[in-house]
Amino acid sequence: MPRPRFAKLEPDKQAGILSVAASEFAENGFEGASYNRIIEQAGLSKGAMYYYFDDKTDLYVTVLKDAIDRMMAATLEGIEDAGGYWAQFEHMFKQSVAFTLEHPEFGALVRGLLDAPARLRAAGGPIEKLYASYRQQTVELIQAGQAQGEVRTDLPLELIVGVMFGMGEAVDRWWIENLETIGDDTDRWARELIGLFRRVAEPRGDES
């Protein structure tokens, strides 16, 4: 998190720095982004930047937390209208996809987080906490499903979460790469894709 001084900076300048950083990180991911370039484009000197942020990671985490918050808010918007676990699941999926298309930069930022090499996400890595907190949302979603009897409980939680998380990445990627295939039929395809999650996660009565 930025040093407290950053909050004292004029809001315009704060926003300017974060916006430059967001586009650099969105385009190049964490490692690919050049901190020097961000500093330059923000019109700051090195000393100034390191005066407000501890390091590159600090700035990245700041930018990403904001992106994740916005995406989460969009994902949950109108969730109360969906009845039943899987309907809510589908609603969230559609909302998040719509959000990504409306705000490509935020979408790219979040995708970049998932795309980061394991070494960065792993315990001890720079973005460990950020990644873990994002993943935690999936854990809670699965647990909610289990509580409602809609998600199987015969497998280790970590396994289901890992698989569902991986499927989520794959499905998101497919969606944004196949907009022509999908066309106007977003409802049909959303149901189709959610169907994949249901196949994996729903209890079927044949579990050991």
Least Å from the CB of residue 26 to a second copy: 12
| Of 195, 105, 84, the residue nearest 149 (C-alpha) | 84
Cβ atoms 38, 21 nearer than 8 A: yes
Residue 34 interface partner, choices a second copy, DNA, none, CB cut-off 5-8 Å depending on type: DNA
| CB of 63 vs DNA, minimal distance in Å | 14
Q: Given CA atoms 139, 142, 143, 144 in this order, what sign does their dihedral have?
A: positive
Give yes or no for residue 46 binding DNA (CB under 7 A): yes
- Give the helix ranges, DSSP H, for the chain: 5-8, 11-32, 35-41, 46-52, 56-76, 85-102, 104-115, 118-121, 128-147, 157-177, 179-182, 186-201
Residue 48 lies near DNA (rule: CB under 7 A): yes
How far is 36 from 49, CA to CA, in rounded Å?
10
Minimum CB–partner distance for residue 29 and a second copy (Å): 6
Minimum distance from CB of 172 to a second copy (Å)? Answer: 10
User: What's the distance, CA 67 to chain centroid?
Assistant: 8
For residues 31 and 118, the answer to whether their CB atoms sit within 8 Å is: no
Among 11, 12, 47, 184, binds DNA (CB under 7 A): 47
Does residue 153 touch DNA according to CB under 7 A? no
| Position among 57, 146, 153, 186 found at the interface with DNA (CB under 7 A) | 57
Nearer residue to DNA within complex by CB, 5 or 119 = 5
Determine contact, residues 74/99, Cβ cutoff 8 Å.
yes
Among 27, 45, 104, 157, binds DNA (CB under 7 A): 45
Q: What does 117 interact with, of DNA, a second copy, none (CB < 5 to 8 A by kind)?
A: a second copy
Question: Rounded CA gap, 127 and 146, in Å?
Answer: 29
Nearer to a second copy, 4 or 156 (CB): 156
> Which of 23, 50, 144, 182 touches DNA (CB under 7 A)?
50
The partner in contact with residue 208, picked from DNA, a second copy, none with C-beta cut-offs of 5 to 8 angstroms by kind, is a second copy
Q: Which spans of this chain sit near DNA (rule: CB under 7 A)?
A: 5, 8-9, 33-37, 44-48, 50-52, 55-57
